Amino acid sequence: MRILLLANYLPDAQESMRRFAGMLETGLAKAGHEVRQLRPSIRAGNLARNESGVKWFGYIDKLVLFPKVLREALEWAEIVHICDHSNSVYIKYLGERPHVVTCHDLLAIRSAQGEISLNETRWSGRRLQSMILDGLRRARQIACVSDATREDVVRMVNCRGAEGKEVTRIYNGLNYPYSPMDRNEAGPRLQGLGLAPDRPFLLHVGGNQWYKNRMGLLRIFAQLHACAVVDNLALVMVGKPWTEEMRRFIHSNALETAVVELRDVAEEDLRALYSSAELMLFPSLAEGFGWPIVEAQACGCPVVASNLAPLTEVGGDAAIYIDPSHPESAALGVGGALKAGPALRLGLREAGLRNVARFSTETMIDAYLGLYERAVGTWVCEPPQRVGYRSSTVAVR
Residue 397 within any structural domain of the chain = no
Residues 263 and 129 both lie in one domain: no
Under a CB-based contact definition with an 8 Å cutoff, are residues 117 and 82 in contact? no
Cα-flanking dihedrals φ and ψ of residue 304, to 5°?
A: -120, 120
Residues 229 and 366 both lie in one domain: no
Instruction: Please report, in tens digits, the pLDDT of each residue of the chain (397 residues total).
Output: 999 999 999 988 888 999 999 999 999 999 999 999 999 999 988 887 777 667 788 899 999 999 999 999 999 999 999 999 999 999 999 988 999 999 999 999 999 999 998 888 999 889 999 999 999 999 999 999 999 999 999 999 876 545 568 999 999 999 899 999 999 999 999 999 999 989 999 999 999 999 999 999 999 999 999 887 788 999 999 999 999 999 999 999 999 999 999 999 999 999 999 999 999 999 999 999 999 999 999 999 999 999 999 999 999 999 999 999 999 999 999 999 998 878 888 899 999 999 999 999 999 999 999 999 999 986 554 433 333 333 343 333 2
Residue 293 within any structural domain of the chain = yes
Under a CB-based contact definition with an 8 Å cutoff, are residues 15 and 264 in contact? no
Residue 123 within any structural domain of the chain = yes
Going by C-beta distance under 8 Å and a sequence separation of 6 or more, which residues neighbour residue 294? 172, 174, 314, 355, 356, 359
Residues 24 and 48 both lie in one domain: yes
Under a CB-based contact definition with an 8 Å cutoff, are residues 241 and 262 in contact? no
Under a CB-based contact definition with an 8 Å cutoff, are residues 15 and 239 in contact? no
Residues 190 and 338 both lie in one domain: yes
Under a CB-based contact definition with an 8 Å cutoff, are residues 146 and 313 in contact? yes
Residues 200 and 307 both lie in one domain: yes
Residue 178 within any structural domain of the chain = no
Residue 314 within any structural domain of the chain = yes
Residues 144 and 292 both lie in one domain: no
Residues 249 and 375 both lie in one domain: no
How far apart CA 234 and CA 225 sit, in angstroms, is: 8
Residues 268 and 350 both lie in one domain: yes
CA 181 to chain centre: 23
* Residues facing 392 on adjacent strands: 168
Q: 51: domain range?
A: 2-173+361-392
Residue 135 within any structural domain of the chain = yes
How far apart CA 184 and CA 36 sit, in angstroms, is: 41
Is the pTM higher than 0.95? The answer reads no
* Residues facing 321 on adjacent strands: 305
Query: Residue 248 has what pLDDT?
Result: 97
How do beta strands 201-206 and 279-282 pair?
Answer: parallel
Residue 281 within any structural domain of the chain = yes
- State which amino acid sits at residue 350: E
How far apart CA 171 and CA 392 sit, in angstroms, is: 13
How far apart CA 88 and CA 169 sit, in angstroms, is: 18
Under a CB-based contact definition with an 8 Å cutoff, are residues 88 and 132 in contact? yes
Cα-flanking dihedrals φ and ψ of residue 370, to 5°?
A: -65, -40
Query: Residue 160 has what pLDDT?
Result: 53
- Among 317, 290, 102, 309, which residue's Cα sits nearest to residue 212? 290
Q: How many domains are there within the chain?
A: 2
**CB half-sphere exposure, 69, CA atoms < 13 A:** 15
How distant, in Å, are the alpha carbons of 348, 351, 355 from that of 345?
A: 5, 10, 15
Residues 136 and 242 both lie in one domain: no
Residues 263 and 283 both lie in one domain: yes
Residues 368 and 346 both lie in one domain: no
How distant, in Å, are the alpha carbons of 47, 50, 115, 188, 379 from that of 198?
A: 49, 42, 45, 11, 60
- Among 33, 30, 31, 23, which residue's Cα sits nearest to residue 3? 33
Three-state SS at 286: coil
Give the CATH number, domain containing residue 325: 3.40.50.2000
Query: Residue 159 has what pLDDT?
Result: 60
Say if residue 292 is preceded by a cis peptide, omega within 30 of 0: no
* Residues facing 102 on adjacent strands: 143
| The 303-306 sheet, strands edge to edge | 259-262, 234-239, 201-206, 279-282, 303-306, 320-322
Query: What b/e sequence results for 309-346 when a residue is b if at least 16 CB atoms lie within 10 Å of its CB, and e otherwise?
Result: ebbbbbbbebbbbbebeebeebbbbbbebbeeeeeebe
Residue 336 within any structural domain of the chain = yes
Residues 340 and 377 both lie in one domain: no
